[in-house]
Amino acid sequence: MAVPEPSRTGSPPRVFLLVFAIILTATADEAVAAGGLSIGINYGQIADNLPSPSRVSMLLRSMQVSKVKLYDADQNVLSAFLDTGVEFVIGIGNENVSAMVDPAAARAWVQQHVRPYLPSTRITCITVGNEVFKGNDTDLKDSLLPAMKSVYQALGALGLQGQVNVTTAHSLDIMGSSYPPSAGAFRPDVVPYIQPLLDFLSAARSPFLINCYPYFAYKDDPTGVPLEYVLFQPNAGVTDPTTGLNYDNMLYAQVDSVYAAIQALGHADVDVKISETGWPSRGDPDEAGATPQYAGIYIGNLLRRIESKQGTPLRPAVPIDVYVFALFNENLKPGPASERNYGLFYPDGTPVYNVGLRGYLPPMDESDATRTAIHFLALIALAFVTLVLS
């Protein structure tokens, strides 16, 4: 047995940390098994300073988070969550959508990125593309549904249909009108795409995902949009004149406008889920409302509504299903300053604001910690053997 590196064995506190982490992880896993938090979290990685997936796995489990959404199918992340019970939405990036139209490519992707992890890592949904109708890429738009169908068929060939949903995440700008909610309608130019997409989602029993940011509405018109209405604070709300339903917050109004738009295209059987929502804690001088205080109020109030299993006025019995954006501030995201400041946490694991979501980010890699523990035990064994032999 090699002599352990002094830097590792010389610091028993690390072993203590390992034990502490194991206890904490066990407790968190029990909570996840018992349901855990209902909130989902987007784990984006457009940054060069984030902790390793194994540390992030411990952070999320210590927070009792049971649902995570990725923008890719990062093997390091999926491996770090083996046997944790955490549920995953994984993604195929826009740059890979057109390749997936080919059934053989879709089969290869599923074989490589989904099959090996099931059932140990619970992948429950694949998003094919993100906000595809936001841009002007006609090829991408044309490829989207055929790619979704190929991925769906590839799952079927492996007997995984029903275990893993296939969908895509939309930006709210696919809406042509969203107020009042009952008048919700898709943009005329996207209807030819959305109609067959809805037919597919309905047949495949998969949800419709929408990224909703009431923050954008506030930022664009801070004097016209009441802060209480976007931050879930007490206010009289607005009443939809057609349905008579009262909305005390913009997020629910946005979701119900999407339900109305889907209904107008003949589908009452497709669930709407919020694949992203959030509030930036910092922004450029012209980005009104981007403060830690408002971000904390938005996320804190949203958490309470999610945990109380609240539905929207149109679907009161269907608890809102939400993935918050995002786990970390991502320093390499382009665009205005707000884009790099949507995180619940700084990369070092410190909360950006306090909403009662506290986690434990271990100070080093779990694998390092394991190695340290093995070295430590080996040292004790060696000492014991030496003692017996002498």
Ligand X SMILES: *[C@@H]1O[C@H](CO)[C@@H](O)[C@H](O)[C@H]1NC(C)=O
The smaller minimum CB distance to ligand X, of residues 119 and 224, is found at 119
> Active-site positions?
131, 276
Cα 178 to Cα 259: distance, rounded to the nearest angstrom = 10
Cα 255 to Cα 291: distance, rounded to the nearest angstrom = 25
- Interaction between residue 109 and ligand X (CB under 6 A): yes
- Binding residues among 269-288 for ligand X as defined by CB under 6 A: 271
Hey, what are 62's tokens? 């210590």
- Interaction between residue 311 and ligand X (CB under 6 A): no
The smaller minimum CB distance to ligand X, of residues 55 and 67, is found at 67
The smaller minimum CB distance to ligand X, of residues 105 and 337, is found at 105
Figure out which of the listed residues 7, 35, 48, 95 binds ligand X, where binding follows CB under 6 A: 95
- For residue 131, the SS3 value is coil
The smaller minimum CB distance to ligand X, of residues 163 and 291, is found at 163
Figure out which of the listed residues 206, 211, 254, 275 binds ligand X, where binding follows CB under 6 A: 206
The smaller minimum CB distance to ligand X, of residues 123 and 225, is found at 123
Least distance in angstroms from the C-beta of 193 to ligand X:
15
Least distance in angstroms from the C-beta of 23 to ligand X:
31
Figure out which of the listed residues 11, 75, 76, 124 binds ligand X, where binding follows CB under 6 A: 124
Exposure string of 233-255, with b = 16+ CB inside 10 Å and e = fewer, is eeeebbebeeeebebbbbbbbbb
- Interaction between residue 138 and ligand X (CB under 6 A): no
Q: Which range in 14-22, 55-63, 93-101, 260-268 contacts ligand X by CB under 6 A?
A: 93-101
| Cα separation values, 119 from 87, 88, 115, 206, Å | 11, 11, 8, 19
Burial zone of 324 (CB within 10 Å; 0-12 exposed, 13-18 middle, 19+ buried): buried
- Interaction between residue 379 and ligand X (CB under 6 A): no
Distance of CA 351 to the CA centre of its chain: 17
- Interaction between residue 163 and ligand X (CB under 6 A): yes
Exposure string of 27-38, with b = 16+ CB inside 10 Å and e = fewer, is ebbebbeeebbb
- Interaction between residue 133 and ligand X (CB under 6 A): no
Transcribe 15-65 into DSSP letters.
HHHHHHHHHHHHHHHHHHHTT-EEEEEE-----SSPPPHHHHHHHHHHTTE
Least distance in angstroms from the C-beta of 262 to ligand X:
12
Q: What is the binding site for ligand X (CB under 6 A)?
A: 95-96, 99, 109, 124-125, 135-136, 163, 165, 205-207, 271
